[in-house]
Structure 1
């Protein structure tokens, strides 16, 4: 199913660029690449994107959907994607890097696409190896999961007991939003470590107070070892009873790269060089959560749209350079803020350095909420502007190599 009369595997073109995944990184890569082409180049270069649906999901708003604040976090891809980029609705199931062919499953059967350049931007998903979590806990890492949480909350009895597992941004934002929209709910937030541990102690204290004002019980240093229909069991043997369990403690990536024989790390992320080219396959370029850069230049990067958007832009730049026979420049990705919503009327905005380290400057309350909402809107408007003006979306440059901290495991801050 495409938005063009030309089929996805018969469009005559001298060069073909295929993008897997229409999330923040994939859409940014598609739009910046297409808008950067000259008129002559556009006639010779085909750009196609593979995505399971014709929708773009604002993952940073999924907690609002789960709480019932917003009806949806999805937009038609036509609202954000360049009209000349062809859409194939389906899921990539295998990449053959030697023959440069992608196999995708679609509603009408299996399809194959040849590529000259591939942008790998498959994103991330919720994950847990804790017994019972996949059966008895909900997640809000995708649109369907958020809708299931919303339905479970609406169908639960008054005074429903909700357990949210995780101490990161996803769990905090979900707990806040749900508490605000469902004041009758009894919400317990279980953090395996510190609450919002990437922030300063002062910020954590402020965030905890905001959560407690909403009636949320916050417990740090509590690790869940199993999930049942009746609640959870902790590492101390304690059983916490709950009607609904929401799992937001960890993220993983699809295993497409690993299953296709591409170089990956222990988490299944595609290994790339400083220019985002896959090890051994320079015509495969990675972007987003499922990509890992060399530690010297990328160890400070965290999962989230603040990383995926600039990575998508650099991926487009790398592909464009190679199409033109030019050596690409290394990516440089940094940060300016960490943004955490605490309901519709409260938020905590932490100013950070390019390496994501907290600085002694922040905003909170209604001012913070206004900033957070403005940033959320900018993620969409930035993608839309890239359709006609490459580089319209601006992001901070990364730290000097010597300043990058050593972080080896992927963490989620969606």
Structure 2
């Protein structure tokens, strides 16, 4: 009997994990199903580019996983029962047909969406770029704006900086502003902060620092000091919220719904479940939580896939400490910032800026997409065979070399 592995979500983390598992384990002995609501892989790190009017090449998941042994199921996940080890889905190509998938091992990688932080008017009037649909809606809205129209980006994190610079560069006729609760790039090194400010000044972006937005209306945003900022379009980039499905299960989750996992990305409450990417609460270097990002999701996927394969084969578990090396920020197509960081993500003095940093960031984005599009390459390990475990072991099968 094949060991059934179901992977939920085909973002960076889920797609990489599915491909790596297919490489590690013998396809005759495992059935790997990758569930995703859309037919294409979405380069989430490029959504600011898509929203700003640039075209991105489609990356069909069916082509990526052709010949790998991974079965792609286009469906929306509606529920997970971790006690019965089943997943409820609704098909997206077959008139909403409902189906229940059973698993022996579940890899939960449903990721995250935008977080409106409960600010009044945000859901009604603000735009988000956490996914392709939102980015396309914003793209269409921006295309209708006339010269001089004000665009306000709320949120001074990586996404906010990238989108503000991207739209200001591609649409210099617009009046672009950014509202940040803290200082501009205040988590960066002094060199990094200076460079961001220099680029924003060059692009003509107005920065409202130490400004808390308390409400969003059709033509403005309200701030905590009682003033307002004109906004024909408001773009909300204040962080991410995970999919609520995990919180509705008996999995141990945080108060924000992230699944608590150990160093191998295995649920601390349900050993048949692994969680990776934004949906997981995992600890990195310095015993600090990994931040929601592609930079975290990719190594989490490697860790989970290798741990699953090791447990099934009786091999050595991975003991790689997940750490950071840099934060990559695109500031339009011609400028960038590579902020080097400690293992636990604290900035150091060193930073790469300007055109070299823009090229570096582009190579990072291409490399991330390549690793998803070529799931069977770059791994010399031969697949290992699966045999039945002794009765009472708690799993349906186990693998042998």
- Would you call these one fold, judging by a TM-score over 0.5? yes
CA distance in 2, matches of 1:160, 1:35: 51
Larger displacement relative to structure 2 (196-205 or 295-304)? 295-304
Instruction: Identify the residue that residue 83 of structure 2 maps to in structure 1.
Output: 98
Q: CA deviation at 1:137?
A: 0.3
Q: CA deviation at 1:78?
A: 3.0
Instruction: Identify the residue that residue 407 of structure 1 maps to in structure 2.
Output: none
Which of 44, 51, 57 aligns to 1:66? It is: 51
CA distance in 1, matches of 2:142, 2:21: 42
Q: CA deviation at 1:389?
A: 3.1
Native 8 Å contact 2:241 2:256 kept in 1? yes
1:111-130 deviations in Å (ceiling 9; x for gaps):
11110000011111111110
1:205-243 deviations in Å (ceiling 9; x for gaps):
220111111000011110000001021100011021110
Whether 2:243 is the aligned partner of 1:233: answer: no
Instruction: Identify the residue that residue 32 of structure 2 maps to in structure 1.
Output: 47
Which of 348, 351, 370 aligns to 1:359? It is: 348
Whether 2:10 is the aligned partner of 1:25: answer: no
1:225-262 deviations in Å (ceiling 9; x for gaps):
00010211000110211100000012110011111221
Using the size of structure 2 for normalisation, the TM-score is 0.90
Instruction: Identify the residue that residue 172 of structure 2 maps to in structure 1.
Output: 183
CA distance in 1, matches of 2:200, 2:276: 34
In the superposition, relative to structure 1, how do residues 309 and 298 fare at CA in structure 2: closer, same or farther (>3 Å)? farther
Native 8 Å contact 2:284 2:322 kept in 1? no
Native 8 Å contact 2:105 2:272 kept in 1? yes
In the superposition, relative to structure 1, how do residues 300 and 82 fare at CA in structure 2: closer, same or farther (>3 Å)? farther
Native 8 Å contact 2:285 2:322 kept in 1? no
Instruction: Identify the residue that residue 35 of structure 1 maps to in structure 2.
Output: 23
Structure 1 vs Structure 2 CA RMSD = 1.7
Which of 369, 372, 377 aligns to 2:366? It is: 377
Larger displacement relative to structure 2 (358-367 or 284-293)? 358-367
Give the gaps of 5 or more residues in structure 2: 382-401
Q: Residue 56 of structure 1: SS of its match in structure 2? A: coil
1:165-203 deviations in Å (ceiling 9; x for gaps):
000110111011101111110011000112223211331
Native 8 Å contact 1:165 1:248 kept in 2? yes
Using the size of structure 1 for normalisation, the TM-score is 0.87
Q: CA deviation at 1:326?
A: 4.7
Instruction: Identify the residue that residue 4 of structure 1 maps to in structure 2.
Output: none
In the superposition, relative to structure 1, how do residues 351 and 249 fare at CA in structure 2: closer, same or farther (>3 Å)? same
Instruction: Identify the residue that residue 122 of structure 1 maps to in structure 2.
Output: 110
Which of 65, 71, 81 aligns to 1:81? It is: 65
What are the equivalent positions in structure 2 for 1:6-405 lying under 5 Å apart? 13-37=1-25, 41-68=26-53, 70-72=54-56, 74-81=58-65, 83=67, 84-107=69-92, 108=94, 109-128=97-116, 129-294=118-283, 299-326=288-315, 328-390=317-379
